[in-house]
Structure 1
Amino acid sequence: MAATYHSERTASPIVSGHTPLSSSATAGAVPRNNALQNRVTSVLSASYADLEIRDALTSLDTRGLQNIPATRRNLRLDVQEELIQCNGEIVQDFGMVARQLERVGAAIESLNFSCAEMRKHIGAARRETGPMLDEAKTILADRQQVDKKQRLLNAFTTHFVVSDADLAILASTAEPVNDDFFRVMTRVKKIHDDSQVLLGSENQRLGLEILEQSSRQLNAAFQKLYRWVQREFKNLDLENPQISAAIRRALRILAERPALFQNCLDFFAEARETIVSNNFYAALTGAPVDPDHPVLGKAIELSAHDPLRYISDMLAWAHSATVSEREALEVLFISEGDELAKGIQAGIESEPWSRPNDDDVLAPFNGREALSQLVDRDLTGVFRQLKQRTEQVIQSHELAALAYKISNLVTFYGPIFGNLVGDQSSLLEVLRSLSETALRSFRSIMRDNVLNLHTGLAMSPTDLAAPEFLLEALNTLTVLMKSYDTSVVTADRNQRIDGFQPVLQEALDPFLAGCENITKRLQTPNNHIFALNCLLKTRETLHQYSFADRSEELRPRIDEHECELVTVMHRWFLRESGLATLVDHVATVEDLSFSYKDPKQLASIAQQLDVFLPAATEDARTYLVQLEDKTLVRRIIEHAVESFCEDFEEVESLISQADEARGLQANGEVEEDLWLRDVFPRTGDEIRVLLS
């Protein structure tokens, strides 16, 4: 709008057609034009981006004014008129505000007066009610203390005081041991533990009284529980798979008193020992202890005619009873996990005087070990009877094999019972004692048998076979090896060998020594044949079981006698064939020429050789017919034949060399009947064929 107004003002003289003013007028109008130019310059130089200018322009636009000269001339006047009207309205409004403030001031003065009057009245009332308020505060504080003490008393009574009804449940023998008893006992134990907190207060008397009272109540409860457990143990049926949960809980709680718990275990062990012993006696005799529970199966004593089965049945019954006893006691003592061990540990800590020595480090309670000890005590009576009857069987039968079988049977059951009751059990000591008793009886019987060999040692066998005492010993040894093989559970070969060596020393070595004594009295070759028969029979028997095999030990002795027999058969071949003279006295060609100048002297030897050769092998077998191992006989003859053929080849070589020497000396003019080869025509190959 200002630009339009400026353009209209500058263009108006030209539009109206007037000429420019005179020079005087122009000179007078120069300042006005300068002012106008300054105004225009100021307007043109202004920034229309200014907020104030923009607001002014916006206000003019809102008025809806037209850009005409009249409007532009009256614009200032109109604006000033509006401004004067606005100021007048503001003055009127402020007048109304002033009147309102006068009324507010009057109200405030009235309120100040009223407040001053109220302060006077309040001060007077405060002076009058001050003592009563102080007394009321004191009374309210006292009431809070009383309420606090009342709540404390109620809490103390609720926590630390046991009612007469609960005390009757806890200590009276007329009341049963049930869940209420355990509930009250648990509460009294909590009171006993919490009373120790009161000992840390300034006044310890209350804590001491509650601690003493709760201790008496707990002692009475434990005594009642102790007597109840003993009564239950008298009528406890371990055969019942559902043992009362109350007994298990009672034992867990009673474990907190180690002395009472141990007494209960002792009482239980004695009762169970009696019961199990009576059951074992009933199983032995067939007479039931309780008519309502008859004995199943036949009485064990009916098999007393078979000692091994008799002892085996007793051990089997004892093993079955041990397994049953352990399973039942596991339900009774171990089914609660380690709660029993925790109870015993807590009891030992609460009763330090129960330890053997103050300096001893107390090992933690081992439930499995205690269970094994209890089972051990329960079966003591059974094993006492078992030991007596087994020893009677051992003493009444003078049979070495039976004694050794009993020892192996008892030893076989040792690890089985060890897995049930532990390696330190007294039951294992009983079994070890029985095993040693049986072994002592075995050794004694074997030594008696050796002492009785004098008659057999004095007689030389006619058939050179193994003597009767050795055969009996080997038969007994076979039984012992079979028993040992079925009873020893270890898989270590060296242990099995070492375990059986003492048996061989008792059951075999003395008899082999007796055979050696007989061998020394026999003539060759009977002594070697007899020794080989004994050694081969022994090796054959021992070879059945690896732990008793002595092949490596017997082989040098067998080889020695075999070599001796080969030598004997070699001499027999030489003697029977007539070559012994040649082999023994002719070593060189000169010996042959000197001893047999006439070739006809060899004719008798050649004739004897021809007679011997066709039946030589059969005659040799007949010569060794008493040697029982025919394979060994054939091997001995083969070695002897080989040696004989070698000797014959040497003789044959000497004869050929002698003929060659004779031919050289006579320049080939030797008579035909003078050739040694003619009277001794056999060759080494022919000998080997005939003796093959």
Structure 2
Amino acid sequence: MATSSYFPERSALALPVRDTSSPASPAAGVQSRSANALSARITSVLSASYADLEIRDALETLDARQIQNTAETRRQLRLDVQREVVRCNGDIVKDFGQVAQQLRRIGSAISNLNSFCDEMRTHIAEANRDTSPVLQEATSLIGQRSQIEAKQHILAAFTSHFFISDIDSTILTSTAEPVNEDFFQALTRVKKIHHDCQVLLGTEDQRLGLEVLEQSSKQINAAYQKLYRWIQREFKTLDLENPQINASVRRSLRVLAERPALFQSCLDFFAEARENILSKSFYAALTGSASDAQQLNAKPIEFQAHDPLRYVGDMLAWAHSTTVSEREALEVLFISDGDEIKRSIRAGLESEPWLRTESDEEIFDGRKALDQLVSRDLTGVVRLLRQRTEQVIQSHDDATLAYKIANLVSFYKSTFVKLLGADSEVLELFNNLEGSAMRQFRANMRDHVATVQSDLSVAPVDLSPPDFLEEALQMLKVLAKSYDTSVAAVDGSGDSFQSVLAETLDPFLNGCENLGKGLEEPGGAIFAINCLLAVKTVLSVYSFTADRLGEMDDTMGEHKAKLIEYQTEYLTQTSGLNALIDALSGISDSPDSLKTIPSLEIFKPEALIGVSQHLDEFLPSALIDAAENLKHLQSRSLIQEITEEAAARFCENFEFVESKILAADDLLYYHEDADEAVDERTPTLRDLFPRTSGEIRVLLS
């Protein structure tokens, strides 16, 4: 854009100053209006915003034309623009003339096409009038054909869905055909047909639905009867170790569970078959007489187990091993598929609600049913096991053997509880056997006790436990060891062992107590303690005898107190201190009573000196002599403890005598109110009896 301004300088456009003093004239008025218009024009131009788009476009157009800002250019600018506009309008008119010519040609072509279309409409209308009947007939035939084809499709679909082929019917109902995958597929299809018949029964014409329902019901019942008979045949020769047979039988049982009555009948048949098989196997394991060409690799139990306890243990071990194997095999057979059988039984009860009882809270508990089935399978084994075990129990008079058998049976009972549950019928066998063994144990023990009581005479000279107690303790060791290895000791209470102690220990302890009553003291207490020590030695190694050991400690404490009292009396008598104690028993702590002590016969100088000398002779060997009284006591620590306690009590008695002597001397010789007539050369009681309690404690320590 040129740098020259489009507008004249402000100075060139300066307005003349009006002379207000001159008078008004026409020429002056015209000049004044011109000046006002020019001023307004200038003001308008100056107030215009150069940011306006129109002004900017105008300026850009002027700049593009390279127009110089001169007076001539400004005068010709409007004429040039108008001339250019006229020229452009002429070009546009010329172009529109060509367009109008082309439109006239197009209009002529359209008129020709319209005439051709009218002719074609005429021909088409005539053709429609001629072909309309034919088209209507063809449309009717096509509609009929579509209806027939739809009916054919419906009939084919109905036939394929609600009917099975003769081949499938033969597979499903014929006993000559095997029970395989084809059988189960056919059965599944027929059950679906039976279920879908509900749709047919919901229509107005129910005759077809009833016919199909009746036919499918007959086929399903025949299939379940075939499956039921097939499972029974398989159960007769079922090998529980064969996984392939188990798989087919397991699937068959799952399907048969939809008929709960047939399923339960199969279970009963299976239980009877397995009971017979297990009974024969157990008898063969006992005697070695294998049946059905059965070969035994192990030696028969009756030939191998010569010891009665091992014989019973081997039978119980065989029963336990068989139970574990039977449970594992039946678990795979009946409940390996989760809740499939339960769902099948529920479906069967829904289809046959008359089979449900009011008490059926649980439709089918797989674990419980398995435990019951295994228990039923073991019925024959349990019967034979009970007979053989009771024969062993009743044919032996050894009480320890009967108790060991009872513990062994108790151990296996706890094992079978874990395997079959607490409600299993098999546990009744163990309860009966355990009760029978314990009754035999008590009977044998009472016979033994009666025999021993008839032979009781006197206690041994050395006051040691008698032979019958030693024999009873040897038996008790065996019984306690057997109990400790049994399950009954696991709870730690030991309540069941208390009855054993009542039978095997209490009668012999009572016999020892009766023998001790005939002995002089301290023999009776020493004999009782020796017997209790021997019993404690046996029982102290077992935790389940803690209660009885506590009772025995209390009894030993009573006898120990008697020995302490005896030893204290011995020390007091032997030392001569008892005479002083007896004399001082009537002296109180009052001054008048204490002053009478020197007048007592035993406290006269000669007598008191004699007691003091006798005490000095006694003290050096006092403890040895006292311990000699307890030489038959079989616990050295207990001898020392009893003797030390007796010596302590003797020192307390000596302190009593010493306190009285010192109190009397203090009143008679050292008190300010003492009698003045007493000669100072007269010896005091302390002079006559110089031993102190401290010296006594040192000598007897």
Q: TM-score of the superposition, structure 1-length normalised?
A: 0.78
Cα deviation for residue 110 of structure 1 reads 8.1
Answer whether contact 2:400 2:479 (CA < 8 A) is retained.
yes
Question: In the aligned structure 1, how far is the partner of 2:240 from the partner of 2:277?
Answer: 11
Alpha-carbon contact 1:593-1:658 (below 8 Å) kept? no
1:4 is aligned to none
Instruction: Note closer, same or farther for the CA distance 1:200–1:362 as it changes in structure 2 (3 Å cut).
Output: farther
2:648 is matched with 642
1:552 equivalent among 542, 550, 555: 550
Compared CA separation, residues 87 and 254, structure 1 to 2 (3 A): closer
Superposition deviation, residue 217 in structure 1: 0.8
Q: Contact between 2:597 and 2:603, CA under 8 Å: does it hold in 1?
A: no
| Inter-partner Cα distance in structure 2 for 1:88 and 1:635 | 148
Question: Any conservation in 1 of the 2:414–2:487 contact (CA below 8 Å)?
Answer: no
Q: Partner of 2:596: helix, strand, or coil?
A: helix
Counterpart in the other structure of 1:343: 344
The corresponding residue for 2:538 is: 541
- 1:236 is aligned, of 232, 235, 238, to 238
The residue type equivalent to 1:371 in the other structure is: L
Offset at residue 668 of structure 1 (A): 3.4
Describe how 1:552-631 pairs up with structure 2 within 5 A: 552-587=550-585, 590=596, 593-596=599-602, 599-602=605-608, 605=611, 608-609=614-615, 611-631=617-637
- Deviation of 1:254 after TM superposition, in Å, equals 1.2
Amino acid paired to 1:301: E
- Name the amino acid aligned to 1:216: K
Query: Aligned ranges for residues 137-216 of structure 1 at < 5 Å?
Result: 137-216=139-218
Question: Bigger shift: 500-509 or 410-419?
Answer: 500-509
Distance in 1 (alpha carbons) for counterparts of 2:95 and 2:605: 192
Match of residue 224 from structure 2: 222
Distance 1:509 1:135, change over 3 A: same
In the TM superposition, what whole-angstrom CA distance separates every residue of 1:470-520 from its partner, at most 9, and x where no partner exists? 333333333222222211267554xx2334333333333343344334444
Measured against aligned partners, the alpha-carbon deviations of 1:281-314 in whole angstroms (never above 9, x if no partner) come to 11112233344x4223232223554222221111
Greater shift in the superposed pair: 604-613 or 572-581? 604-613
Q: Within 1, Cα distance between the matches of 2:560 and 2:390?
A: 48
Separation in 2, partners of 1:605, 1:469: 48
- Partners of 1:95 and 1:651 lie apart in 2 by 164
Q: Provide the rounded CA distance (Å) in 2 between the counterparts of 1:561 and 1:491.
A: 34
**Residue in 2 aligned with 1:10?**
none
Does the 8 A contact of 1:528 with 1:561 survive in 2?
A: yes
CA gap of 1:633–1:191, structure 2 versus 1, over 3 A, is same
Q: 1:545: how far off? A: 1.3
Corresponding residue number in structure 1 for 2:384: 385
CA–CA separation in structure 1 for the residues paired with 2:469 and 2:661? 52
2-side partners of 1:109 and 1:168: how far apart? Answer: 78
Q: Deviations over 1:399-457 (max 9, x none)?
A: 33222222222222223212221221111222122222222333333344444454355
Q: Which amino acid aligns with 1:211?
A: L
Q: Assess, with a 3 A threshold, how the Cα gap between structure 1 residues 681 and 394 changes in structure 2: closer, same or farther.
A: same
Match of 1:11 in 2: none
- Of the structure 1 ranges 395-404 and 165-174, higher mean CA displacement relative to structure 2 is found in 395-404
What is aligned with 1:486? Answer: 485
1: distance between equivalents of 2:103 and 2:603?
A: 195
In structure 1, how many angstroms separate the alpha carbons of the residues matched to 2:223 and 2:100?
Answer: 102
Matches for 1:314-463 after TM superposition, within 5 Å: 314-357=315-358, 360-455=359-454, 459-463=458-462
Residue identity matched to 2:415: I
Whole-angstrom CA distance in 2 between matches of 1:107 and 1:482:
126
1:668 correspondence with 2:699: no
Unaligned ranges ≥5, structure 1:
1-44, 58-71
Deviation at 1:199, TM superposition (A): 0.9
Deviations 1:55-110 (A, max 9, x none): xx9xxxxxxxxxxxxxx9xx99x99xx99x97998799599859x84x98688668
Contact 2:580 2:602 in 1 (8 A): no
Query: What TM-score does the superposition give when structure 2 sets the normalisation length?
Result: 0.77
User: How has the CA–CA distance of structure 1 residues 520 and 664 changed in structure 2, closer, same or farther, with 3 Å as cutoff?
Assistant: farther
For the pair 1:503 / 2:500, whether they are aligned, the reply is yes
- What amino acid maps onto 1:196 in structure 2? Q
Distance 1:403 1:317 in 2: 20
Deviations 1:254-288 (A, max 9, x none): 11111111111111111111111111111112233
Q: Which residue of 1 aligns with 2:22?
A: none
> Which runs of 5 or more structure 2 residues have no equivalent in the other structure?
1-44, 46-53, 66-79, 588-594, 670-674
- The one-letter amino acid of 2:639's match is V
- Change beyond 3 A, Cα 1:87–1:688: closer
Give yes or no for contact 1:173–1:224 (8 Å, CA) kept in 2: yes
Report how far residue 691 of structure 1 moved: 3.9
CA distance in 2, matches of 1:192, 1:86: 91
Answer whether contact 1:620 1:637 (CA < 8 A) is retained.
yes
The residue type equivalent to 1:636 in the other structure is I
Tell me, yes or no, if the aligned pair for 2:516 and 2:528 is still in contact at 8 Å: yes
C-alpha distance after superposition, 1:109-128 (max 9, x if no partner): 687578557646754x36xx
Q: Could you tell me how far 1:580 is from its partner in structure 2?
A: 3.2
Deviations 1:636-662 (A, max 9, x none): 112222333343455566667778859
Question: Cα distance 1:644–1:139, how it changes in 2: closer, same or farther (>3 A)?
Answer: same
**Distance (whole Å) between structure 2 residues aligned to residue 555 and residue 492 of structure 1:** 24
Whole-angstrom CA distance in 2 between matches of 1:467 and 1:140: 123
Hey, what's the Cα distance between the residues in 1 that align with 2:185 and 2:427? Answer: 44
What's the % identity of the aligned pairs? 51
Segment of structure 1 superposing worse, 454-463 or 367-376: 454-463
Higher alpha-carbon deviation: 641-650 or 281-290: 641-650
- Structure 2 distance, partners of 1:399, 1:87, is 143
Q: Quote the Cα distance in structure 2 between the aligned partners of 1:372 and 1:88.
A: 109
* Separation (CA, whole Å) in 2 of partners of 1:47 and 1:282: 127
Aligned 8 A contact 1:481 1:548 in 2: no
1:32-47 pair list within 5 angstroms: none
Is the 1:599–1:675 Cα contact (8 Å) retained in structure 2? Answer: no
Cα distance in 2 for partners of 1:450, 1:538 equals 17
Shift in CA distance, 107/526, structure 1 to aligned 2, threshold 3 Å: closer
Give the structure 2 partner of residue 278 of structure 1: 280
Q: Secondary structure at the match of 2:405?
A: helix
* 2:487 equivalent to 1:526: no
In the alignment, is the contact (CA less than 8 A) between 1:311 and 1:390 conserved in 2?
Answer: yes
Q: 1:556 to 1:199 in 2, by over 3 A?
A: same
Give matches, 1:58-77, under 5 Å: none
Q: Note if contact 2:583-2:600 (Cα within 8 Å) is conserved in structure 1.
A: no
Q: Partner of 1:625: helix, strand, or coil? A: coil
Cα pair distance change 1:608/1:213, threshold 3 Å: same
What is the CA–CA distance in structure 1 between the aligned matches of 2:102 and 2:539, rounded to whole Å? 143
* Deviations 1:186-214 (CA, angstroms, capped at 9, x unpaired): 22122112222211111111111111111
The alpha-carbon distance between structure 1 residues 649 and 137, as it changes in their structure 2 partners (threshold 3 A), is closer
Instruction: Tell me how many residue pairs correspond in the alignment.
Output: 615
